[in-house]
Chain A
Amino acid sequence: MSRIQNEPRWIDVILSVLAAFFGVQTKRNHERDSMTDSYWRYIVIGLVLLLAFIAVIYLLVKLTLAYL
């Protein structure tokens, strides 16, 4: 397989990071991701989605305490 020289698409990165959060990824996407040379988009999206995850948990706790 030939290396993809250009950057991965943002939408693919987001989906891959979400798949990693979930713990299940298709073999096809996994191979596509490992063919790219650039990892910084994965790191950025990883951190952003991590913060989003923390925010969701925080909100859930707030909502639970307010309504339960």
Chain B
Amino acid sequence: MEKLLLGVSGLFLFSGRAHADWTVNLTKGVTEISREIYDLHMVIFWICVVIGFIVFGVMLWSVVYHRKSRGAKAHNFHESLVVEIAWTVVPFIILIAMAVPATATLIKMYDNTEADLDIQVTGYQWKWRYQYLAEDIDFFSSLSTPREQINNTQEKSTDYLLEVDNPLVIPVGKKVRFLLTANDVIHSWWVPEFAVKKDAIPGFINEAWVIVDKPGVYRGQCAELCGKDHGFMPIVVEVKSQEDYEQWLAEFKKADALKSQAAEKSWNLADLMATGEQVYSKACLACHQANGEGVPSIFPALKNSAVALGDEALHIDVVLNGVSGTAMQAFKDQLSAVELAAVITYERNAWGNKTGDIVTPAQIAELKK
């Protein structure tokens, strides 16, 4: 028993040291709503604690005080109207008392009107897509943790599995409304510090909103089991001051323009292969695997595949438009012309697929129009 106690307290000590900011409680968050939810949670928690003490206190006291050795005799009565009414009315009153502030917060949470900025959030297997509805901004955000860390051949970083290539960027102090939906299966967009956890469901649009009052980087995860890489589609939100946000907007648009210019320059096989490998590990590896052999009967092999070795046009079509009704998504909008050309070229020349074919960015850019 002592050993067990030592072990348990050791565990607590250890976890306390290993995660300095590790707490068991709900986060206070960085929005007015998240703080209200935190306060509600604490109030209700303490109500439960008090009820627990009273109920178990009375029970324990009765058990001890009326114990048999003291000569206690049981009363043999059946129902008692007074007691039954009391234990129905008292919880009723407590519940109503808790519902009043909770409802006030809920009503605020569901007030989706008068947003300064609308962003459509779409869940994909296994990444997020962010579309700024008023701006010409549309990008995918996928896990950027290196495979080596996942496979334990490299030390894990502090933001392990909570880092992405393109974070969502929003301005501080502005009401940002999220319109959530999904492309394939149900996902859930969850950022604890915003107190937002909302299902993203194919064919439906759910709404949520935030006004974040502190610039910073906030991280979250998909919170609805959505398949193989459910744990590998984190959310990163960068909250910036209005000036920084506008600068980001401008830079994003400039980079977008550069991307389409890149499609016009000519590419050789080596460059395409190098880019293709990067794109492949970011966008395709989760399913088709690093060795291109896929997962039998779930994700087909690309090594020696009839599609990857066969007709170029068919191969391009599969990658750009996907195969409807399967996990093979349309990558047309997810990747740039250069990335698409590179990854297709890569597939046609990697793992012993030596076709020597080059699919050019210009070719893809034409198809993307």
> Is the pairing of A and B real?
yes
Give the contact-size bracket for chain B: under 10
Question: At the interface, yes or no: A54 with Cβ under 8 Å from chain B?
Answer: no
Give the contact-size bracket for chain A: under 10
Question: At the interface, yes or no: A26 with Cβ under 8 Å from chain B?
Answer: yes
B104 near A68 with CB under 8 A, answer: yes
B107 near A27 with CB under 8 A, answer: no
Q: Which label, helix, strand, loop or mixed, suits the secondary structure of the B interface?
A: helix
Question: At the interface, yes or no: B88 with Cβ under 8 Å from chain A?
Answer: yes
In whole angstroms, how far apart are the Cα atoms of A68 and B88 in the complex?
A: 27
> How many A-B pairs with Cβ below 8 Å?
15
Render B23-52 as a binary contact track against A, CB cut-off 8 A, 1 for contact: 000000000000000000000000000000
Report the minimal beta-carbon distance from A31 to chain B, rounded to whole angstroms: 12
Question: At the interface, yes or no: B243 with Cβ under 8 Å from chain A?
Answer: no
A24 near B104 with CB under 8 A, answer: no
A24 near B81 with CB under 8 A, answer: yes
Residues of A with C-beta under 8 A to B113: none
Render B68-110 as a binary contact track against A, CB cut-off 8 A, 1 for contact: 0000000000110100110010000000000000011001000
Render B281-307 as a binary contact track against A, CB cut-off 8 A, 1 for contact: 000000000000000000000000000
Residues of A with C-beta under 8 A to B104: 68
Report the minimal beta-carbon distance from B177 to chain A, rounded to whole angstroms: 20
> Which residue of A24, A27, A64, A68 has the most chain B CB atoms within 10 A of its CB atom?
A24
Render A23-59 as a binary contact track against B, CB cut-off 8 A, 1 for contact: 1101100000000000000000000000000000000
A24 near B107 with CB under 8 A, answer: no
Given contacts A24-B84, A27-B78, A27-B79, 4 further A-B contacts (CB under 8 A): A24-B85, A64-B107, A68-B104, A68-B107
The interface of chain A, by Cβ under 8 A from chain B, is: 22-24, 26-27, 64-65, 68
Of the A-B pairs whose beta carbons lie under 8 Å apart in the complex, a sample of 15, sorted by A's number, is A22-B88, A23-B88, A24-B81, A24-B84, A24-B85, A24-B88, A26-B81, A27-B78, A27-B79, A64-B103, A64-B107, A65-B107, A68-B103, A68-B104, A68-B107
